[in-house]
């Protein structure tokens, strides 16, 4: 039993780490830009200094930045260094992991758009409400801002200083808090047995919201995963309020963030913040639970949305160490493998830098060395750079959406091969093959709808219902495969294949 | 005792407690899908049942309902709600599906709120369209039957080999 729990926890730790690596890297990059490019003065200016304006700016910037609740830690540390108000920092730290342009787009097509817009609006209320209350409760005397250290001259020196800051962060305190957040995920998987949360978020259960509150804080979810979980909960007719708690606290908070808050603001203030936050989130959740409940959805009586928080193995799993390795190697996508390799390389460089230059002489040298004589090189003013960055961010987000959601005919090429794998695995009793491909099949069917929405501005009800039928049979097949019911799996594999053919043909009509 | 060793002890105690809770509440069960007893097998069966309900309610005849509450109106409301999904599970053309979807939009929304008499009248107005779609599915099935037979023969031979 202990062996099963240990390897299960290690698997969940590793899965969360792999999922978090891209957004941790983005978080470190953003923190480096705040430190090296903007400096403390520029950062304060960007966030509107103080008051309700800064809370709104924190919400808006948080919505635009593609970071998760772990990746936000280095940014929050940098904002504290720039002496922004505690309310603004905590508001930013909470909102940034909830949404980003890609996840909002995904959510708009998966759930009712009203739900996503309401959830975004609720997050704004939480941010401003909690931030204002915090700043009011813990008012500080007007701060004296010391002048920034000399800015590194632009050009290659500044780029190098940015890279050096990133490397220092990788072996700095922020990485310790990130590890603490990942340990919270591992501890949660030990506390929650295999598939134990499948009936924990029923619409008619008044305690579902409170229960979700208890498990959501140590849980970790990237904005995209949170959005998929949200869609799954709505598809299964689960509690809309519990879904909101999962988004606000599951994607927004983790043990690492709590650890950093306790270290920076003390235990009392951290408890006060979470008291205010949980009060507002739970209150809003009960308020939206009824109105946002999807009409016409047949409650499935369960959900798979939280299986990823529970132990991945049951007591009968043979050789959990081997199973954990197989599971991890199967689930890590090629692009994630590239991310892990880049992170590992950066970590080696970071350790090397820390050992070779503990006194930060490189950074001092970059600051003091006079810039080289200019020829045709021109300095671009800050506002111009800002506009370019903003336009660039929007352009990259839009093109990222089109890349992430390819056109339907390309998606069907992928789905054709996956369909063959699912049918083969289910009909021949190769359960591990079927179990591996079924979630991927489901994911592509959802991407198909987002792709259609992106390119035509709507998903016709005809397409929506074809997709609904397909996913319904796919989920039933998943259950049969989990229970290793040979005859049922064969029968359902045929139905999935028919439903897939109808889905494909519906897009050709 | 130093602060760090105290923190470490507390951390280990918390991990131990969490592990114990996990071990004590271990469970291998997972959920299943259960169709409601009044859910029809397909679109054709749903339309046939709606015809029976409409006839019974228009003549005030009392017939039993497999709905968990035994309520005929609630059963009709559920059947109407399931129609788009059941039709999507058939080979009904997109044009026919859209027509069916639009013609039943109003009654699907209001079926549970209006009186049984009003529901019966509304059903009477949409049943010809539903019947047309059901007939289309029936004829598609008839056309596919010889193909299905040869396919199952092939599958049987495949299994034997």
CA dist list (Å): A355 to A73, A348, A358: 24, 11, 6
Yes or no, beta carbons of B33 and A5 under 8 Å apart:
no
Spatial contact of B71 and B65, defined as CB atoms under 8 Å apart: yes
Length of chain B: 161
Residue A365: inside a domain, yes or no?
A: no
CATH number at residue A421: 1.20.120.290
pLDDT 10s digits, B78-133: 999 999 999 999 999 999 999 999 999 999 888 878 888 888 999 999 999 999 99
Amino acid A56: pLDDT: 85
Residue B85: inside a domain, yes or no?
A: yes
Spatial contact of A77 and A31, defined as CB atoms under 8 Å apart: yes
Nearest to B81 among A296, A301, A506 (CB): A296
CA dist list (Å): A460 to A118, A161, A414, A453, B145: 23, 51, 22, 9, 31
Query: According to the 3-state scheme, what is the secondary structure of B84-145?
Result: HHHHHCCCCCHHHHHHHHHHCHHHHHHCCCCCHHHHHHHHHHHHHHHHHHHHHHHHHHHHHH
User: Is A484 an interface residue toward B (CB < 8 Å)?
Assistant: no
Cβ contacts below 8 Å, chain A against chain B, sum to 87
Residue B118: inside a domain, yes or no?
A: yes
Residue of A nearest to B88 (CA): A466
Query: According to the 3-state scheme, what is the secondary structure of A11-62?
Result: HHHHHHHHHHHHHHHHHHHHHHHHHHHHHHHHHHHHCCCCCHHHHHHHHHHH
Does one domain contain both A43 and A174? yes
Yes or no, beta carbons of A506 and B94 under 8 Å apart:
yes
Yes or no, beta carbons of B27 and A193 under 8 Å apart:
yes
Residue B159: inside a domain, yes or no?
A: no
Does one domain contain both A195 and A78? yes
CA-based nearest distance B106→chain A, Å: 14
* A472: chain B residues, CB-CB within 8 Å: 85
Nearest to A1 among B23, B30, B91 (CB): B23
Domain of residue B142: give its range: 43-149
Picking from A221, A261, A263, A258, the residue whose alpha carbon sits closest to that of residue A243 is: A221
DSSP code for A309:
G
pLDDT at B69 over 80: yes
Yes or no, beta carbons of A479 and B33 under 8 Å apart:
yes
User: Is A469 an interface residue toward B (CB < 8 Å)?
Assistant: yes
CA-based nearest distance B127→chain A, Å: 20
Burial state string for A144-158 with b = 16 or more CB within 10 A and e = fewer than 16? eeeeeeeebbeeebb
User: Is A264 an interface residue toward B (CB < 8 Å)?
Assistant: no
Average pLDDT of every residue of chain A: 84
* B34: chain A residues, CB-CB within 8 Å: 301
Burial state string for B128-150 with b = 16 or more CB within 10 A and e = fewer than 16? ebbeebbebbeeeeeeeeeeeee
Amino acid B24: pLDDT: 42
Kindly provide the ipTM of the predicted complex, given to two decimals: 0.77
Residue B11: inside a domain, yes or no?
A: no
Residue A377: inside a domain, yes or no?
A: no
* B94: chain A residues, CB-CB within 8 Å: 462, 506, 509
Torsion of CA A125, A131, A132, A133, to 10 degrees: 100
The structure tokens listed for B144 are 């596919």
Nearest to A190 among B19, B85, B87 (CB): B19
Residue B64: inside a domain, yes or no?
A: yes
Yes or no, beta carbons of B27 and A479 under 8 Å apart:
no
CA-based nearest distance A228→chain B, Å: 20
Q: How many domains does chain B have?
A: 1
pLDDT at B70 over 60: yes
Spatial contact of A58 and A217, defined as CB atoms under 8 Å apart: no
* A301: chain B residues, CB-CB within 8 Å: 31, 33-34
Residue of B nearest to A4 (CA): B23
Spatial contact of A422 and A77, defined as CB atoms under 8 Å apart: no
* B26: chain A residues, CB-CB within 8 Å: 1, 193-194, 314-315
Q: Which of A6, A12, A191 to mutate to test the interface with B (most CBs of B within 10 A)?
A: A191
Yes or no, beta carbons of A193 and B89 under 8 Å apart:
no
Where does a domain end: A297, A329, A356?
A: A356
Does one domain contain both A289 and A438? no
Residue A329: inside a domain, yes or no?
A: yes
Yes or no, beta carbons of A5 and B19 under 8 Å apart:
yes
Amino acid B31: pLDDT: 54
pLDDT at B56 over 50: yes
Assign B146 a pLDDT band (cuts: 50, 70, 90).
low
Yes or no, beta carbons of B22 and A194 under 8 Å apart:
no
* B18: chain A residues, CB-CB within 8 Å: 187, 190-191
Nearest to A302 among B21, B23, B31 (CB): B31
Residue A311: inside a domain, yes or no?
A: yes
Yes or no, beta carbons of B36 and A298 under 8 Å apart:
yes
pLDDT 10s digits, B20-47: 444 444 444 455 567 888 999 999 999 9
Spatial contact of A350 and A170, defined as CB atoms under 8 Å apart: yes
Residue A211: inside a domain, yes or no?
A: yes
Residue A372: inside a domain, yes or no?
A: no
Does one domain contain both A438 and A344? no
Confidence (pTM): 0.70
Does one domain contain both A410 and A332? no
* B84: chain A residues, CB-CB within 8 Å: 461, 465
Yes or no, beta carbons of B34 and A301 under 8 Å apart:
yes
Residue of B nearest to A311 (CA): B22
Amino acid B11: pLDDT: 47
Amino acid A256: pLDDT: 92
Residue of B nearest to A476 (CA): B33
Does one domain contain both A455 and A329? no
Q: Which residues of chain A have pLDDT under 50?
A: none
Does one domain contain both A411 and A294? no
Beta strands in A312-427 (DSSP E): none
Where does a domain end: A321, A336, A356?
A: A356
Residue of B nearest to A302 (CA): B31
- Residue B20 and residue B26: Cα distance in Å, rounded? 10
Q: How many domains does chain A have?
A: 2
Yes or no, beta carbons of A482 and B18 under 8 Å apart:
no
User: Is A214 an interface residue toward B (CB < 8 Å)?
Assistant: no
Q: Taking the CB of residue B102, how many other CB atoms lie within 10 A of it?
A: 11
CA-based nearest distance A75→chain B, Å: 27
CA dist list (Å): A428 to A366, A485, A489, A497, B151: 64, 11, 9, 15, 18
Residue B157: inside a domain, yes or no?
A: no
The structure tokens listed for A358 are 């503990």
Domain of residue A97: give its range: 2-141+151-356
Residue B156: inside a domain, yes or no?
A: no
């Amino acid at each position: 039993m202990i062996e099963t729990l240990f390897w299960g926890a290690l698997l969940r730790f590793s899965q969360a780490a792999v999922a978090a690596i891209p957004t941790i890297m983005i978080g470190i990059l953003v923190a480096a830009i705040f430190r090296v490019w903007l400096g403390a003065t520029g950062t304060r200016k960007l966030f509107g200094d103080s008051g309700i304006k800064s809370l709104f700016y924190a919400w808006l910037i948080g919505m635009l930045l593609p970071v998760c609740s772990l990746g936000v830690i280095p940014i929050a540390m940098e904002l504290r260094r720039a002496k922004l108000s505690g309310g603004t920092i905590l508001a930013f730290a909470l909102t940034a992991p909830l949404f980003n342009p890609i996840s909002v787009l995904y959510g708009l097509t998966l759930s009712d758009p009203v739900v996503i817009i309401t959830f975004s609006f609720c997050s704004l209320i939480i941010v401003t409400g909690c931030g204002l209350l915090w700043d009011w409760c813990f008012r500080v005397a007007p701060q004296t801002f010391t002048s920034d250290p000399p800015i590194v001259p632009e050009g290659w020196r500044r780029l190098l200083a940015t890279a050096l800051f990133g490397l220092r962060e990788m072996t700095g305190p922020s990485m310790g808090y990130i590890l603490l957040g990942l340990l919270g995920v591992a501890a949660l998987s030990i506390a929650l047995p295999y598939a134990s949360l499948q009936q924990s978020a029923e619409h008619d259960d008044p305690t579902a919201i409170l229960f979700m509150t208890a498990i959501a804080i140590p849980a970790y979810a990237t904005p995209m995963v949170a959005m998929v979980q949200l869609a799954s909960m709505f598809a299964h007719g689960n509690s809309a309020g519990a879904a909101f708690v999962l988004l606000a606290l599951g994607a927004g908070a983790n043990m690492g963030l709590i650890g950093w808050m306790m270290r920076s603001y003390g235990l009392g203030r951290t408890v006060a913040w979470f008291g205010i936050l949980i009060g507002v989130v739970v209150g809003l959740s009960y308020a939206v639970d009824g109105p946002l409940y999807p009409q016409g959805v047949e409650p499935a009586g369960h959900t798979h949305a939280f299986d990823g928080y529970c132990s991945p193995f049951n007591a009968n799993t043979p050789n959990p160490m081997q199973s954990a390795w197989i599971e991890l190697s199967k689930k890590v996508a090629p692009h994630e493998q590239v991310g892990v390799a880049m992170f590992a390389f950066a970590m080696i460089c970071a350790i090397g830098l820390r050992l070779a230059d503990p006194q930060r002489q490189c950074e001092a040298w970059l600051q003091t060395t006079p810039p080289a004589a200019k020829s045709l090189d021109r300095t671009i003013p800050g506002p111009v750079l800002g506009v370019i960055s903003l336009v660039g961010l929007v352009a990259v987000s839009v093109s990222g959406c089109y890349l992430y959601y390819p056109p339907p005919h390309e998606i069907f090429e992928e789905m054709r091969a996956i369909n063959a794998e699912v049918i083969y695995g289910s009909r021949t009793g190769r359960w591990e093959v079927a179990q591996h491909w079924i979630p991927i099949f489901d994911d592509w069917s959802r991407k198909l709808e987002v792709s259609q929405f992106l390119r035509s501005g709507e998903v016709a009800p005809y397409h929506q219902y074809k997709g609904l039928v397909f996913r319904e049979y796919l989920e039933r097949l998943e259950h049969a495969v989990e229970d290793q019911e040979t005859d049922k799996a064969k029968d359902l594999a045929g139905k999935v294949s028919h439903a897939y053919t109808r889905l494909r043909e519906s897009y050709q009509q | 005792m130093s602060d760090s060793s105290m923190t470490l002890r507390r951390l280990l105690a918390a991990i131990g407690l969490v592990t114990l809770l996990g071990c004590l509440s271990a469970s291998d069960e997972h959920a299943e899908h259960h169709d409601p007893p009044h859910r029809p097998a397909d679109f054709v069966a749903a339309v046939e049942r709606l015809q029976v309900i409409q006839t019974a309610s228009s003549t005030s005849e009392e017939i039993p309902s497999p709905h968990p509450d035994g309520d005929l109106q609630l059963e009709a409301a559920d059947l109407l709600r399931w129609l788009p999904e059941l039709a999507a599970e058939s080979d009904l053309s997109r044009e026919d599906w859209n027509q069916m979807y639009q013609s039943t939009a109003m009654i699907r929304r209001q079926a549970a709120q209006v009186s049984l008499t009003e529901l019966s009248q509304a059903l009477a107005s949409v049943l010809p369209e539903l019947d047309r779609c059901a007939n289309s599915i029936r004829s598609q099935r008839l056309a596919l039957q010889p193909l299905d037979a040869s396919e199952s023969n092939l599958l049987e031979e495949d299994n034997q080999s």
